[in-house]
Chain A
């Protein structure tokens, strides 16, 4: 059984059908990168996987459990599936430590005495141990995004979703975030990313999924997909992304 099973998922916003029958499996430990033009449905698909959006038809299962906005264990489910957003979404009124420990403490995952050690641990993994007492506003965009990743890691998720996490960053800050993600990939975290970073997709991902007009248009290992695209749509996308 795959960790994530997506079967014939349809999703409509108003009159626009954003997802037109998407099916996709992601195995445990796999790094899957979803690429495609704006409006191809890739972010929507990602948001459906942790029930931020509910699907109109078809189904999504994560660890065998059917995912939807009114699922009985939604809170528990979301503790297992981390998501990092384009806009970081750190809590501005909480210091870095509290940003990280708030959810583990409130959900009873850890005791108060161990909170700081947990924050130190995950911050070390993203290379920001010295920022534990900083306010989010005092950090650069790249640092904020790494704290957002650390905040997810503190919940020890089984799956991490990344929604264009480098798109809002200045070019010189992209590298530090990608490096953290690469390290997580090496440690065996299952990751689904929506990204415009073709270099990262090519070098780190096990599989590329090209979405076009609300469908999975083409997928495969990066080497094959980038070298020999089968469809003219992917060929033109790769050409334009260079």
Chain B
């Protein structure tokens, strides 16, 4: 066992880790927006839109995300949409994360008692004001644990982007391994980096959760 040959690749490793983080954060933010919008649409009155969102969720939750990335990268160019590897992976992972977020956030919205909405309406608030100020904060709190664990799965899932040669951590690992022939050492280091990132995010989310959701739980 010899980790020394990896030392000279530390800059590549750091760059790879940064790309992995970028991919994760972009897909998470875009996916969350999809999640909130999709949850609203699912609870809404426009039936065709509900079907569309439902179809989207089932499609992306019941197919391999590797294939979703391949389709965006290899198939969409046939229809005139040509994206570089990173962008293609970001789009595919956003849609993948979004599909899970819709269901999670909808469950969060459903967990808020209906009389809260009524109370808001009776104070003369608009539909948007009721949603934004009365429904959304408790819904996000209830959805938060599921969203954060899904986020960690997304972080690990970004390694799939290596298959379209996006320069993220796992792709960098393959490159270093091919140069050094030190498979065990390379993948041990990569695993440790993923592990450290995942644990750091968990700690970060715990702190954010404590800061953002300060009101006492219902007894």
Chain A interface residues (CB < 8 Å from chain B): 50, 52, 75-79, 82-83, 85, 87, 89-95, 102-103, 106-107, 135, 137-138, 151-152, 155
From A50, A89, A103, B116 is in contact (CB under 8 Å) with: A89
Closest to B129 in A: A106
- 22 cross-chain CB contacts under 8 A: A52-B118, A76-B124, A82-B122, A83-B122, A85-B118, A90-B119, A91-B134, A92-B138, A92-B218, A93-B138, A93-B213, A94-B215, A95-B215, A102-B133, A103-B120, A103-B124, A106-B129, A107-B124, A137-B215, A137-B217, A151-B123, A152-B123
With both chains docked as a complex, state the minimum distance between the C-beta of A132 and any C-beta of chain B, in angstroms: 15
Interface of B is mostly: helix
Bound together, the chains give a CA A76 to CA B122 distance in angstroms of 10
Bound together, the chains give a CA A94 to CA B214 distance in angstroms of 10
Supposing A91-B134, A92-B138, A93-B141 touch, asked if A103 and B123 sit within 8 A by C-beta, the answer is: yes
* B126 beta carbon closer than 8 Å to chain A: yes
Supposing A52-B118, A89-B118, A106-B133 touch, asked if A137 and B216 sit within 8 A by C-beta, the answer is: yes
Residues of B within 8 A of A151 (CB): 123
With both chains docked as a complex, state the minimum distance between the C-beta of B170 and any C-beta of chain A, in angstroms: 40
Taking each of A77, A106, A137, which has the highest tally of chain B beta carbons within 10 Å of its own beta carbon? Answer: A106
Bound together, the chains give a CA A97 to CA B56 distance in angstroms of 42
Bound together, the chains give a CA A104 to CA B115 distance in angstroms of 20
Chain B 100-122 against A: per-residue CB contact (8 Å), 1 yes, 0 no?
Answer: 00000000000000011011111
Residues of B within 8 A of A106 (CB): 125, 129, 133
With both chains docked as a complex, state the minimum distance between the C-beta of A108 and any C-beta of chain B, in angstroms: 10
Residues of A within 8 A of B124 (CB): 75-79, 103, 107, 155
Q: Would A89 and B119 count as touching, CB distance under 8 A?
A: yes
Closest to B219 in A: A137
Residues of B within 8 A of A79 (CB): 123-124
Interfacial residues of chain B within 173-219, with CB under 8 A of chain A in the complex = 213, 215-219
Q: Which 3 A-B pairs have the closest CB atoms?
A: A79-B124, A103-B123, A89-B119
Taking each of A50, A103, A151, which has the highest tally of chain B beta carbons within 10 Å of its own beta carbon? Answer: A103
From B120, B122, B215, A92 is in contact (CB under 8 Å) with: B215
Bound together, the chains give a CA A78 to CA B141 distance in angstroms of 29
Q: Would A91 and B141 count as touching, CB distance under 8 A?
A: no
With both chains docked as a complex, state the minimum distance between the C-beta of A59 and any C-beta of chain B, in angstroms: 21
From A102, A107, A137, B218 is in contact (CB under 8 Å) with: A137
Q: Would B115 and A102 count as touching, CB distance under 8 A?
A: no
Residues of A within 8 A of B218 (CB): 92, 137
Bound together, the chains give a CA A95 to CA B137 distance in angstroms of 13
